[in-house]
């Protein structure tokens, strides 16, 4: 069996944004500007822990609010820049941010649950990871992870609730309350 602690392994954690990094705005709602962007507790520490264990971290998020005209690409870029600056200020780092701004009916390859954004992130990385996990707050994220071949990590800090479990299409590989708890587990078992 391969040594998972071997530093030569390429390890990737994909993170959804809304409901994982920042507060979930609600079903069919969007974080439209920086004023509405509120970091969830423990996010900086969770990302920092993953950084310390050598994980490459990519944010993967559907942001159809742009093409719906609810906020502009510039608004999204400003939010992203400020999000990354705050994460850096807290001595943590994100290796890349990948958004799909298309709507469902556009039937693009980058809109989750299709794995196109994950493939874009891996292309930017330049090599296929030995270990990949996707931390998300919805079953769209879990389906995306499965389609890509990543471990599914569901967190209850956003959209999905444990009370909905009977309706789940499958059981995620891991379930945690939030990113910080997920990061602790990922670091101790895959780090």
Q: Tell me, what's the pLDDT at 191?
A: 82
> What confidence tens digit (pLDDT) does each residue in 55-64 have?
999 999 999 9
Q: Which three-class secondary structure string do you get for 98-142?
A: EEECCCHHHCCCCCCCCCHHHHHHHHHHCCCCCEEEEEECCHHHH
**3, 48 Cβ separation under 8 angstroms:** no
Q: Tell me, what's the pLDDT at 65?
A: 96
Cα separations (Å) of 48 from 58, 96, 156, 160?
A: 13, 15, 20, 25
- Count the neighbouring beta carbons within 10 Å of the beta carbon of residue 3: 8
Band of residue 186 on the pLDDT scale cut at 50, 70, 90: very high
Q: Tell me, what's the pLDDT at 9?
A: 78
pLDDT at 76 > cutoff 50: yes
Domains in the chain (CATH in brackets) are 11-190 (3.40.50.1000)
Write out the catalytic residue numbers. Answer: 16, 18
pLDDT at 8 > cutoff 70: no
Six token digits for residue 182: 């997920």
> What confidence tens digit (pLDDT) does each residue in 109-157 have?
999 999 999 999 999 999 999 999 999 999 999 999 999 999 999 999 9
pLDDT at 75 > cutoff 90: yes
Q: Tell me, what's the pLDDT at 6?
A: 45
Q: Tell me, what's the pLDDT at 4?
A: 47
pLDDT averaged over every residue in the chain: 94
pLDDT at 50 > cutoff 50: yes
> In the chain, pLDDT over 90 holds for what percent of residues?
92
Six token digits for residue 126: 């330049």
Residue by residue, DSSP assigns 15-82 as E-SBTTTB----TT----SGGG--BPTTHHHHHHHHHHTTEEEEEEEE-TTTTTTSS-HHHHHHHHHH
């Amino acid at each position: 069996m391969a040594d998972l602690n071997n530093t030569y392994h390429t390890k990737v954690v994909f993170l959804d944004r809304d409901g994982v990094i920042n507060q979930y705005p609600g079903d069919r709602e969007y974080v439209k500007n920086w004023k509405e962007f509120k970091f969830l507790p423990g996010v900086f520490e969770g990302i920092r822990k993953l950084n310390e264990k050598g994980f490459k971290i990519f944010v993967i998020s559907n942001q159809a609010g742009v093409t719906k005209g609810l906020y502009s690409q510039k608004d999204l870029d400003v939010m992203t820049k400020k999000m990354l600056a705050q994460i850096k200020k807290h001595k943590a780092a994100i290796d890349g941010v990948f958004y799909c701004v298309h709507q469902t009916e556009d039937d693009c390859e980058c809109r989750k649950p299709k794995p196109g954004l994950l493939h874009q992130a891996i292309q930017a990385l330049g090599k296929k990871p030995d270990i990949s996990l996707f931390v998300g707050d919805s079953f769209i994220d879990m389906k995306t992870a499965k389609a890509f071949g990543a471990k599914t990590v569901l967190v209850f800090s956003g959209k999905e609730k444990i009370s909905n479990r009977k309706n789940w299409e499958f059981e995620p590989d891991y379930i945690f309350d939030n990113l910080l708890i997920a990061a602790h587990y990922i670091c101790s078992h895959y780090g």
